[in-house]
Amino acid sequence: MLPHSSASAPAAARRPPPSADPGLPPPSSTASFWHSEPSSFLHNHRTTPTVPTDADIVIIGSGLAGATTARYLYESSAAPAIVMLDARQACWGATGRNGGHCKASLYTLSCLPELATTLGYDQLTKLMAFQQLNVALVTEYVRAEAVDCDFRPMDSCDAFFTEDNFRAARESIDVLRKRMPEYSGRLRVVTRDTTEGRRILAQETRTPTAVGAVLSSAACLWPYKLVAHMLERAVRERGMNLQTCTPALSVVRNTGSGRKWTVITARGNINTDKVVFATNAHTAHLLPAFKGHIYPVRGQMSALVPPKSMIDRPLTHTYRLVGKDGMMDQYLIQRPIQPDGSGGELMLGGGRSLAAGFGEGRMDGAIDPPVARYLRRAPAEFFAGETGFPGEAVVGGLEKSLVSKFRRLTIDAVVGSQLRFWDAAEGIGCDDGEEEDSDSGSEYDDDNSESITQDSQGSRECVAKYEWSGVMGFSSDEMPWVGRVPALTAEEARARGLEAREAVMETEGLWMLAGFEGHGMAYCTGAAKALVQMMAGKQPYDFFPECLEASRQRMGLAPEEDEEEDEEEVDAEEEDEVEEEVDIDESKVDIRWEDLEKDEESEWVVV
């Protein structure tokens, strides 16, 4: 998923964050296109038949945040004993359900002028640099490891279809131009007021009805395959113990001798000194103090059969499509077309303002039919010049074949027959005759493919191969939380309506990275790198924005005394150990910034 926020959706418009317990990830979920080629090694994987009773580090969550944390831990330490837990299959949460984008936000952060006032321009500049660093780190890793994940650097187009939204975007870019020209120079503003602008909108971006666009550089990929590569290497080569379908039920202080913490699961307990909560939307279930600070929001995705004109001439950009409602940003990539003519799907997400309750508090066991219908019709709306929409096409057997594919997976012998199958192919969106999850808020035909095909006969509506949902972890202050888990006293817990037992007064050894706001690809890798340094007692502020660090202040609590001292003074010996500033050679990364650099006479380009 991509973030909800944009230059046209000010923070003031946000609804009050829900404070309910998000619970554990439900066992049944809609089937994501990205899971259509699951790793037979990881699916239902349990490295050992029983849960280990002891570990140096336990990581809860196997998405991009958890996998990248494990990778950096192994790179920074000799051989830590790491156990990774996931309530479902590996990478079955937000990372395995997102839009496939890898893009830094240079101006689309919500209400940029207000954010600059709140954070200061130094932090805002650092935040933007950090997002670009994330894209570069992902690019370097994919290339160094030759990861087969369809990674493609591409130009990106933010297309605006109303004057108000385009004006708001240009106002944010103007802030960059005046205060951070090094970033505004990487943006190309296109307006239909000029002949060249109209040509670009009609021929290059293929959005002839847009009032304007902002072009930059980005990348797209198959996110599940990236994480699967990391996890397979960690298990096969580094000795990580991965336990899928094993939810962490709670984390309690170990009052006896030995390890500091005990992670409780239904299959046994693990004693450990360090716990990493890579739990995103579900963080508040294990850390109740985060109720109202990190909360789940369901987004929706679809894999659509493109119109014939997009098969004959595929799109050359990734897209953010801003319609009449600023909260209805859509995000789109087109998958590569294979030599045999397959592929080319339009991976389109968005439409959240049509979802029940804006998707807040909803899980991924169902989809919202109004959103699905809107997404199927959106390509014709935004790409008005395209022809050959497959309204009459029937995509036969795709849904059933995915179910069969999952059921044919070979289960590792060490697992045996006792493993419970939690098969995503049973979820709505890839129908197998199962009833819809009760949280959908509306009725939905059991036979997805039939209802979609009938509804789109003779229209410019696309046929959906897959329609699925994913749960994003939103943050009350719109920033991820990275670092040591803030402590909470019993009195503070009661003041927040929590039980005293839900307070964690001593958090040594508890670490977190969560609340990525649907923008995890631009945060997780750098966040994991910074977190591993923090876990080693180092301070990664040469590249990590302090505004992302988890703290009591961000929770509205007074800072602890030692926190205040840490902010004022860094131990000299420890400071020497801090890694050097990450220096990314953009020529090697090949994100093609040079194509969009500012010209010599203007700090931002308008055509």
State pLDDT tens for residues 55-79: 999 999 999 999 999 999 999 977 7
Q: What is the pLDDT of residue 588?
A: 43
Beta bridge mates, 6: 9
DSSP output for 516-560: -TT-GGGTHHHHHHHHHHHHTT---TTTS-GGGB--TGGGT-PPP
569: pLDDT strictly greater than 60? no
Q: What is the pLDDT of residue 603?
A: 34
C-beta of residue 51 within 8 angstroms of C-beta of residue 267: yes
SS3 271: strand
SS3 394: coil
More confident site: 333 or 403: 333
Rounded Cα gap, residues 87 and 26, in angstroms: 8
394: pLDDT strictly greater than 80? no
Rounded Cα gap, residues 254 and 272, in angstroms: 9
The single residue listed with the structure tokens 């509306």 is 442
Q: What is the pLDDT of residue 223?
A: 98
- Which are the contacts of 120, defined by CB distance < 8 A and separation ≥ 6? none
505: pLDDT strictly greater than 70? yes
455: pLDDT strictly greater than 70? no
The single residue listed with the structure tokens 């006479």 is 601
Q: By mean pLDDT, which of 33-47, 57-71, 429-443 is the weakest?
A: 429-443
More confident site: 423 or 211: 211
Rounded Cα gap, residues 337 and 476, in angstroms: 40
Q: By mean pLDDT, which of 117-126, 316-325, 571-580 is the weakest?
A: 571-580
Tell me the pLDDT tens digit for each residue of 274-320: 999 999 999 999 999 999 999 999 999 999 999 999 999 999 999 99
C-beta of residue 446 within 8 angstroms of C-beta of residue 433: yes
pLDDT band at 429 (very low <50, low <70, confident <90, very high): low
Continuous H helices in 30-162 = 64-76, 112-119, 121-145
pLDDT band at 341 (very low <50, low <70, confident <90, very high): confident
Fold of 54-94+224-292+476-538+544-580: FAD/NAD(P)-binding domain (3.50.50)
Tell me the pLDDT tens digit for each residue of 86-112: 999 999 999 999 999 999 988 875 567
Rounded Cα gap, residues 447 and 450, in angstroms: 6
Tell me the pLDDT tens digit for each residue of 193-250: 999 999 999 999 999 999 999 999 999 999 999 999 999 999 999 999 999 999 999 9
Length of the chain: 607
How far apart, in Å, do the first and last CA atoms of the chain sit?
30
Taking each helix axis from N to C end, the angle separating 64-76 and 223-238, rounded to the nearest 10 degrees, works out to 40
More confident site: 346 or 445: 346
Q: What is the mean pLDDT of the chain?
A: 83
